[in-house]
Amino acid sequence: MTIASPLSVLPTMSDDLARLEARLRLAVVADDDYLTEIAGHLIAAGGKRVRPGFAIAAGGTRNNEAMPATDDVIMGGVAVELVHIGSLYHDDVMDEAEMRRNAPSVNSRWGNLKAILAGDFLLARASEIAAGLGTEVAGLLAATISQLCEGQILELRDTYNVDRTQEDYERSIAGKTASLLATACRVGGIVGECPRADIDALTEFGHAYGMAFQIVDDILDVIATDDQLGKPAGNDLLEGVYTLPVLRAMHSEGGSELRSLLGGELSVAQRDRARDLVRASVGVDDALHEARGWADKAGAVLTSLPASASTDALLAAANHLIRRAADPLS
């Protein structure tokens, strides 16, 4: 999914993201070239820049016409993206992932210890930037990093747990995914000097969007190919992470075979059988319905914001996600 496409209805977005990309690369330059190379690895590999795009759009919602983002809004986007990339370094260590964004993961190239330390370095740089944007932004980013950890811990707690509930799943993705998207929008609103009510609405939009975004991502892990994902498909099942389509499939008619198959480590053949069972059940359709509900909520929240080019861009992103939820492989 390319979030830059719907956000590109904002005429200034392309130039703003180019400015952000340059600042992002500068932000990870260390005194030692070796650390700079490791810390910049995933930045160089590219990415959708979903979160900084949201920060930029949110920061412009108080302006009737499209205007270039302020330097503070750009740096707010940089801070949020550094948190995201740092969390990916840590995620790939936990998942023993070999690929990320169609490139070798940091842990597979440099080892787990260096990947963890480089991820810490990125989080530290994000915190340093946030501190320069004011105490509210610094506190918000620190709280978000805490939520990311809590969401990930909740997921790890339920590894191989066939009794995981939808509530448990939603609590986990609210922390590990939706919290950072909500913060991206909130940071943009704060440093863009939006009214407090608008900042709260932007935060709610980011949360709802993030919930839908993660559900769609989890659906793709079941139905997409390695090439379509840019990483190994079906990895959640191998790792014992049972996401919403899997949970719904286990509790559907005929879900007993899937439930008996799960609960422990799987061979690749067993993983493939589990994916087939989920795809043949109502699990994917049920999860799509939930994703559409969250995406609809995200779009509805925007009606309280002033009419602006930036609000239109956020609405385009929400509508794109709704279409994506209807056809995840489009």
Looking up residue 18, the CATH number of its domain turns out to be 1.10.600.10
Residue 38: name the closest of 145, 154, 94, 122 by CA: 122
Decide if pLDDT at 3 tops 60.
no
User: In sequence order, what are the beta bridge partners of 100?
Assistant: 103
**pLDDT band at residue 5 under the 50/70/90 scheme:** low
Please tell me the predicted confidence (pLDDT) of residue 330: 65
Residue ranges making up the domain that contains 168: 4-326
| Residues 176, 231: Cα–Cα separation, whole Å | 19
User: In sequence order, what are the beta bridge partners of 111?
Assistant: none
**pLDDT band at residue 328 under the 50/70/90 scheme:** confident
Decide if pLDDT at 224 tops 90.
no
**Which one has a higher pLDDT value, 322 or 189?**
189
Measured CA distances, 128 to 21, 22, 124, 134, 183 (Å): 18, 18, 6, 11, 16
Share of the chain above pLDDT 90, in %: 86
Please tell me the predicted confidence (pLDDT) of residue 230: 65
User: Can you tell me which residue has the tokens 């999860």?
Assistant: 287
Decide if pLDDT at 28 tops 60.
yes
| Residues 152, 141: Cα–Cα separation, whole Å | 17
Length of the chain: 330
**pLDDT band at residue 99 under the 50/70/90 scheme:** confident
Share of the chain above pLDDT 70, in %: 97
Give the tens place of pLDDT for each residue, 262-300: 999 999 999 999 999 999 999 999 999 999 999 999 999
Range list of β-strands (E), 21-136: 99-100, 103-104
Please tell me the predicted confidence (pLDDT) of residue 304: 96
Decide if pLDDT at 95 tops 80.
yes
Decide if pLDDT at 25 tops 50.
yes
Please tell me the predicted confidence (pLDDT) of residue 64: 87
| Residues 108, 67: Cα–Cα separation, whole Å | 42
Predicted TM-score (pTM) of this structure: 0.94
Decide if pLDDT at 155 tops 80.
yes
Number of domains in the chain: 1
